[in-house]
Amino acid sequence: MDVDSAGGVSTGFEPVYLHFLDSQLINSVARFPRPDDLAHVFAVAAVFRGGPFYCSLSALWESPLARQGPLAELIRIAAETGWLVAYSGFESTEEFIQSRHELYAHAWTRYPMYFSATARPAYTPDVQVKLSDTSAALQRGTLNHLHGSPGRLIPRAEVLESPRIQRKIERILRNRGNRAMTAPLFDDLRDAGPAGYLAQKHLTKVMSANYLRDYVAAGTGVILTGIHGLSLFEGSFTEGFPGSDAPVLNTLAKMLNMNVPYNVETSRWWYRFFEAKHAPLHAEFVGRTGMLLRHCAAAPVAASLPARRSATMGILRRSFYGLPQNTCRGDPDIDLAAALNRLEKAEQRAQRIGVLQMSTSEHSAPDETQPPAIVFHGNVSGSSFVLSGRDSNIGQVGIEAQRVRDFTEQLRDNLDEVARESGEGARVAQELATVEAHLNGAEVPAGRAQASLEYLRAVVLGVAGNAAFTGLVELAQNIG
């Protein structure tokens, strides 16, 4: 099976936009996810994703989820270890706060965090300047939705068919001035009675969907799908499936016998894990995970996301047929080397299933006799966190120009063979072009180029068994 035809396009290294930190989006749904569940989703994603996480700077100020509780602590750890970036239209925090004073002057009681000197977040991640105008994008998207234009992100509510409601919405948008594109902007709709209330509630969802689209585009990222209560916003943002789907990743964690609990007692362990994510072994693990999931993504892209998820998880479970399930443990336990050993066997099996649709009776349990080369594990005190084996050096995988240039030049010479051997197809050429563009001085964000480099390195290490690529593999091992 050609994995590209299955619709699995995620490499595992794309940036992940944390859309659930948008308070307006969360407040617009009737049944929103529990904070503890979101912390678990984020923890699992941290294990399986190799790119940075990002959100808007305003989300870190406004979202209660980002300010207190288990998810907030994980986000702080990600920010302090370089795995979280905040996007803002302003270069300084002072400029950002002043802009919020102007945007929310009409609704300051709903946004008190911007009007109090003691309400600042306890941490500040790296800030990436966002060049596009978010408010303009939201107004444009809202008008397009109102008028029934193509490309709507969510279904159009019947209440918008009312000419009276349409005129009131158009007048509000025409006279918006500097006011923020948030729910309070449409408070006047309530004068129209129940229909106006429904219209305001629906427009909150519309603005949330357009806000999501604007930030996904700004960071060229994907979102974590499959989060309880947020399915309304997923339909137009499935590019990361299956590698960014929360239920799929949670199932894979169980198949790999990984335990990823988070609570206050495990904070120290998670801090060290986020630091260890910079190690080459983690990039290799992410690359192999991505290959496996793309082989499991059997349903066509045109199918609904639940249908694609069901098909993917069915093949995933068959690929690990006979593997003992994860037992209930209270301590974090992540063995990347053992996981790589299992992933290799599961990937081979998944490819056969995808091509031949073999029955589960034809599968044997994976061979688990190989000793681990590196183990990440720990107890609640963090004192038994151990790194051992051939990749015990923890260091940032940076783009070191000469080594990377040598690697990319030889990969370019062997591109067709590597793409065919790995089964990655056009994706290898795409990511190679990104790294080459960065090396040649093009305006490619360093984080994006690094993610592409880590993906390419993982692909090359994945074909290390072929003697024809010995020199290329050695160059890949020397990066970092």
Is pLDDT larger for residue 68 or for residue 55?
55
DSSP result, 95-152: HHHHHHHHHTGGGTTT-GGGS-TT-S-S---EEEE--S-HHHHHHHHHHHHHTT-S--
Cα atoms in the Cβ-side hemisphere of radius 13 Å centred on 15: 27
Residue with tokens 């294990």: 47
pLDDT recorded at residue 425: 72
Task: Name the band, by pLDDT with cuts 50, 70 and 90, for residue 393.
Answer: very low
Of how many residues is the chain composed? 480
Domain end point (choices 213, 233, 253)? 233
Q: What confidence score (pLDDT) does residue 5 get?
A: 35
Report whether pLDDT(2) > 50: no
Which two three-digit tokens encode residue 196? 């106006």
Q: 233, 257, 283: which is the final residue of a domain?
A: 233
Sheet hosting strand 126-129, strand order edge to edge: 126-129, 84-88, 53-56, 16-17, 222-223
The pLDDT assigned to 146 comes to 92
> Which residue has tokens 């969802």?
205
How far, in Å, are 159, 333, 429 from residue 202 at the CA level? 9, 43, 42
* pLDDT per residue as tens digits for the range 426-437: 888 888 888 888
Strands 84-88 and 126-129: parallel
Structure-token pair, residue 355? 């091509």
Q: Which among 83, 90, 81 is positioned nearest to 54, based on CA atoms?
A: 83
Give the pLDDT confidence of 70-103 residue by residue, as tens digits: 899 999 999 999 999 999 888 877 788 888 888 7
Structural domain includes residue 417: yes
Residue 39 sits at the vertex; the CA angle it makes with 204 and 76, to the nearest 5 degrees, is 95
Burial group, residue 450, by CB count within 10 angstroms (0-12, 13-18, 19+): buried
In this structure, how many other beta carbons lie within 10 angstroms of the beta carbon of residue 375? 18
User: Quick one: which of 480, 4, 66 has its CA closest to 277?
Assistant: 480
Mean pLDDT for 397-401 is 46
Domain boundary among 215, 233, 251: 233
322 confidence band (pLDDT: 50, 70, 90): low
Two tokens, residue 84: 């979280």
Does some domain include residue 109?
Answer: yes
Confidence category of residue 202, pLDDT binned at 50, 70, 90 = very high
Q: Tokens for 348? A: 């081979």
Look at residue 435 and tell me if it is in a domain: yes
- Checking if the pLDDT of 4 tops 60, the result is no
* Position 362 confidence tier, pLDDT thresholds 50, 70, 90: very low
Rounded to an integer, what distance in angstroms lies between the CA atom of residue 62 and that of residue 78? 18
Peptide bond before 371: cis, by omega within 30 degrees of 0? no
- Going by C-alpha positions, the residue among 184, 193, 195, 205 that lies closest to residue 142 is 205
pLDDT at 378 over 70: no
Do the domain assignments include residue 18? yes
> Which residues, in sequence order, are CB contacts of 201 under 8 Å at separation 6+?
28
- Quick: pLDDT tens for 446-459: 667 777 887 888 88
Mean pLDDT for all residues in the chain: 79
pLDDT of residue 350 exceeding 70, the answer is yes
| pLDDT mean over 453-469 | 76
Q: Which of 45, 115, 124, 123 minimizes the C-alpha distance to 88?
A: 124
The answer as to whether 293 is a domain residue is no
Q: From 13, 12, 4, select the one nearest 354 (Cα to Cα).
A: 4
Give the β-pairing of 16-17 and 222-223: parallel
Question: With 50 as the cut, is the pLDDT of residue 360 above it?
Answer: no
> Residue 15 has what pLDDT?
95
Residue 297 and residue 6 in contact, taking contact as beta carbons nearer than 8 Å = yes
> Picking from 372-386, 431-445, 455-469, which range would have the lowest pLDDT averaged per residue?
372-386
Residue numbers of the domain that contains 445: 401-477
Residue 296 inside a domain? The answer is no
pTM over 0.75: no
Strand partners, 129: 88
Q: Counting Cβ atoms within 10 Å, is residue 175 exposed (0-12), middle (13-18) or buried (19+)?
A: exposed
Number of folded domains in the chain?
Answer: 2
